[in-house]
Structure 1
Amino acid sequence: MQGFSTRAIHAGQEPDPTTGAVIGPIHTSSTFAQDGVGGTRGGYEYSRSANPTRTALQECLASLEGGRHAHAFGSGMGATDTLLRILLRPGDHLVIPHDAYGGTFRLVDKVLSGWGVEYTAVDLGDLDALRAALRPTTKVVWCETPTNPLLGIADIAGLAEVAHSGDARLVVDNTFASPYLQTPLALGADVVLHSTTKYIGGHSDVVGGALVTSDDELADRISFTQNSVGSVPGPFDAYLTLRGAKTLAVRMERHSDNAERVAELLAAHPAVSTVLYPGLPEHPGHEVAAKQMRRFGGMVSFLAAGGREAALTICASTKLFTLAESLGGVESLIEHPGQMTHASVAGSMLEVPDSLVRLSVGIEDVDDLLDDLRSALDAASA
């Protein structure tokens, strides 16, 4: 198999056969001419069903994750919803992380529960806890590793073994790691999900999602359901995501380099009580992360020693770290999960600490980032 960066640049992206254009055209057409009734060219008839620009992105994503099939969606939540529609029916049971992404929890708790789906939130770093949570009706174990926003780590191979022993499928949200740092299918996962808005797109200019699997039958069901509900990206979105994927490897190396330096600064500053970063040896998931990840990624969370007000002061005091939701772009972002990305879990068992700050560490010059953070931390200590 060719190397990761080679596949990121070339998989699904041969020069255009008509013109020789190195970068393939953006196919904006909503419909495609047929050579006689049913005589489609390459299987293209209507862009909701298939589009050549989307096909190129899907072939690239499948290659990067080591799967046979990829489906691109209009958003990560669109991909999540489509998959759970397929895998769950009223009366079924789902296991989610006890610190799941707020949007995933909202979909499960507010939408699927009204459809008769039951769920249990579990610390997926504890395989015995997962075993205890499984029921005869459990159909899906939904995993994030690292988790959003507490950076918890789960053993994917161990989860796969436990889930499969109960005839459940393991789905891994690989958004925080990206396929460059971690390939869950190779560790036993059945499906990988991405918000391609984040590291794969990488430039905060496109929203998208993806599902990758090697299960042929499940891939057929995803294709059918996706076409039925119309949860697809437009060709410009597919193009931007594909363009971002080309530089994923070099960006993830820089994200990881910078995040390691940021974590070291935070660990040494009196305004911080706890640093949550799997690259630190004291992180409880460090050994598992080191085993299944190439690097430890660009996401860092921490607890402000001064509590909620100190956390808000830090968020308001940075200049290079932009106060904004989302993550994975080339620019650094800072946020207060309790009032921003994870406000939907307030009052639930998944509520996050009000002293929590989440950083998406970008690829700027690291000394500038450190100076910016140090100034904000000092402001919270004053």
Structure 2
Amino acid sequence: MEYGFSTRAIRAGQTPDPVTGAVVPPLYLTSTFVQDGVGRMRGDYEYSRAGNPTRTAAATQLAALEQGTCAFITGSGMSAADLALRTALRPGGRVILGQDAYGGTTRLLTQVLESWGIETVITDPCGSQRLEEVLARPVTGGQLVWVETPSNPLLHVCDIAAVAQQAHAHGARVVVDNTFASPYLQNPLALGADVVVHSTTKYLGGHSDLVGGAIVVNDDDLAERLTFLQNAAGYVSSPFDAWLLIRGMKTLSVRMDRHCANAGAVAAFLDQHPRVSRVHYPGLESDPGHDVATRQMRAYGGMVSFHVAGGREESIRVASATKVFLLAESLGGVESLVEHPAAMTHASVEGTASAVDDDLLRLSVGIEDIDDLIADLDRALG
């Protein structure tokens, strides 16, 4: 029987404890597992780096939500990105990355993996002629297109199916960072992507109390290689963070409904405010990505970014003046956050082609009462 999203979120990988009948599966805080004899394991587990029942439950749950066959739970979003890249590419490989991408991803590629022999080409990855030109260039270590949609922090929307078709025609893989949308709003594997990555710290966890990452695939060869490298190099989360992730994913659908409703109202308010020069939110009909987002997403997400009239100093003043919106990095938790990307999450790309405007603020719109959120922004802008 094909279950709906919320049922899968609550039941996939969540078998009641066979000994006690506990509805919530146990948290297996153990580093190792006793064996009945040399080389005779009692079950599927011998050492928690290689496998842990709590991590397996989280992986099964996430794979069901992303419509994948296999998921891998890692210790952070950046470790998930690194594991995905090292699995898909060899020295001499190439990554095509959008200019508007998370600063940490750009830093990983240009300051870490470049010395490993990975070329990074920063350009529009969303089906442009420039993408075609880069894809057609010779490469020896494989190539992939790294897509964020909606992107961080400008919420650009990429047509995943079109990019996948274009990339696959050149033998390239497509990796989609689905952190902003979450599997509730968008399923890149079903649209032709090869790999999905998440910072599970964000919407999947949803409560700002864990740090984690994940990779989801539906390709057996990639899954086998990911399994080997995850164990060999130790890209794993703790059992406790996996347990928190399990709990968070169970309420993903109801939280995302509220995030989306609140973000839409906030975006509409900001779009009419005289102190705001531009709003980025795919739910606005005037947004360049609105039509594609309407086609490939179930709703438009909980992230909003906007430019403050008056430049850098005024934008920093506004970010420091909010009370309900907390001044902090990260996103996707139940509480609303505001940040200044140029000085915070994207400071590592200052002075490069990936630098963001210094009058930009990014909001992670939480699930508080919408009247309080709008009043808070109105006071800060005023």
TM range (shorter): over 0.9
1:274 is paired with a residue whose SS is strand
Does residue 1:280 correspond to 2:284, yes or no?
A: yes
TM-score by length of 2: 0.98
C-alpha contact (below 8 Å) 1:67/1:185 kept by paired residues? yes
Distance 1:181 1:42 in 2: 36
Once the two structures are superposed, residues 273-331 of structure 1 have per-residue CA deviations (whole angstroms, 9 ceiling, x without a partner) of: 00000000111111000000000000000011111111101101100000000000000
After TM superposition, the structure 1 stretch with the greater mean CA deviation from structure 2, 333-342 or 129-138, is 129-138
Does residue 1:115 correspond to 2:116, yes or no?
A: yes
Deviation for aligned residue 1:42: 2.7
Aligned twin of 2:89:
88
1:263 is paired with a residue whose SS is helix
Does residue 1:230 correspond to 2:234, yes or no?
A: yes
Distance 1:257 1:40 in 2: 49
Name which of 207, 210, 231 aligns with 1:206: 210
2:41 is paired with a residue whose SS is coil
Counterparts of 1:157-196 in structure 2, within 5 Å, are 157-196=161-200
C-alpha contact (below 8 Å) 1:125/1:152 kept by paired residues? no
Aligned twin of 1:64:
65
Aligned twin of 2:30:
29
TM-score by length of 1: 0.98
Once the two structures are superposed, residues 234-257 of structure 1 have per-residue CA deviations (whole angstroms, 9 ceiling, x without a partner) of: 111000011000000000000000
Give the counterpart letter for 1:168 in structure 2: A
Does residue 1:124 correspond to 2:125, yes or no?
A: yes
After TM superposition, the structure 1 stretch with the greater mean CA deviation from structure 2, 37-46 or 47-56, is 37-46
Deviation for aligned residue 1:93: 1.3
Aligned twin of 1:221:
225
Aligned twin of 2:341:
337
C-alpha contact (below 8 Å) 2:125/2:146 kept by paired residues? no
1:369 is paired with a residue whose SS is helix
C-alpha contact (below 8 Å) 2:127/2:166 kept by paired residues? no
Name which of 261, 264, 273 aligns with 1:257: 261
Counterparts of 1:138-157 in structure 2, within 5 Å, are 139-157=143-161
C-alpha contact (below 8 Å) 2:96/2:125 kept by paired residues? no
Counterparts of 1:273-352 in structure 2, within 5 Å, are 273-352=277-356
1:212 is paired with a residue whose SS is strand
Aligned twin of 2:50:
49
Once the two structures are superposed, residues 74-97 of structure 1 have per-residue CA deviations (whole angstroms, 9 ceiling, x without a partner) of: 001001111111222222111011
Moved over 3 A (4+): none
Distance 1:174 1:250 in 2: 18
C-alpha contact (below 8 Å) 2:127/2:163 kept by paired residues? no
Distance 1:130 1:145 in 2: 16
Ranges in structure 1 where 5+ consecutive residues have no aligned partner: none
Distance 2:219 2:126 in 1: 26
Deviation for aligned residue 1:126: 4.1
Ranges in structure 2 where 5+ consecutive residues have no aligned partner: none
C-alpha contact (below 8 Å) 2:96/2:120 kept by paired residues? yes
C-alpha contact (below 8 Å) 1:320/1:332 kept by paired residues? yes
Distance 1:125 1:191 in 2: 16
Q: How many residues align?
A: 378
Distance 1:94 1:246 in 2: 34
Aligned twin of 2:80:
79
Name which of 371, 377, 380 aligns with 1:373: 377
RMSD over equivalenced CA pairs, Å: 0.9
Give the counterpart letter for 1:356 in structure 2: L
C-alpha contact (below 8 Å) 2:337/2:366 kept by paired residues? yes
C-alpha contact (below 8 Å) 1:178/1:199 kept by paired residues? yes
